[in-house]
Amino acid sequence: MTKSFRFVLLVTALVLIGGGVAHAQAQGRLATVNLVDVFDKYWKTKQAKLALADSKSELKKELDTMNEAHKKLISQFQKLQADANDQAVSSEEREKRRKALEPRLKELRESEDSLKQFVGRGDAELEQKTKRMMEDVIKDIRAAVAGKAKAGGYAFVFDSSAKSLAQTEILLYSNAETDLTESVIKELNITAPADVGAK
């Protein structure tokens, strides 16, 4: 590719971008919203995070109880195993004790499987709850942003907290006058219950 061809492509791209911006300006004004800020300060987010923390705490309590029971089984099995290998008793007695170990080993394996299933089920449950919480909150935020945009005559509203794949800010400059963040937060928190204490 020649330098002149590259230059033509660059100029064409700049013209198209400029044309797109001009078209957007012709259609209506642009505004911004810091989605991270809105999300964090929305009362439903705070409430959902508390509910998720409670769920995690309950799961941890249950898991701790199961772990304690499992540790006891391991301890009992190890003691019985040591008894089964006791050279001070007859070979017949050792064999009898080894056979008695089989149901205990089965019980231990079942306990281990139950623990794994419980952890997997708990993780999936928390993931689903988090996903539902995110979807509900984002739906409310979108509706509030759309309402503010229509009322203010904005054709486009961009997320000023968005980052590129390189983790750099996508929006390099925006006029603070067209930022709707605080008004959206205020709108969302009108319905906040008194005990939530949304700010």
Low-confidence ranges of the chain (pLDDT < 50): 2-26, 198-199
Kindly list the domain boundaries of the chain, sorted by start residue. Answer: 25-191
**pLDDT at residue 33 in the model:** 94
Task: Name the phi and psi angles at 169, rounded to 5.
Answer: -65, 135
Domain at 25-191, CATH from 2.40.50.140, 3.60.15.10, 3.40.640.10, 3.30.910.20: 3.30.910.20
| pLDDT tens sequence across 132-190 | 999 999 999 999 999 999 999 999 999 999 988 888 888 888 777 899 999 999 999 99
- What DSSP line would sit under 27-55, residue for residue? H-EEEEE-HHHHHHH-HHHHHHHHHHHHH
**pLDDT at residue 6 in the model:** 40
pTM higher than 0.75 for the full model? no
**pLDDT at residue 60 in the model:** 94
CA 138 to CA 145: how far, in whole Å? 10
**pLDDT at residue 196 in the model:** 66
Mean pLDDT of the chain: 83
For residue 9, give both structure tokens: 């492509």
**Are the C-beta atoms of residues 53 and 180 closer than 8 Å to each other?**
no
Using CB atoms within 10 Å of the CB of residue 141, give its burial: 0 to 12 exposed, 13 to 18 middle, 19+ buried.
Answer: buried
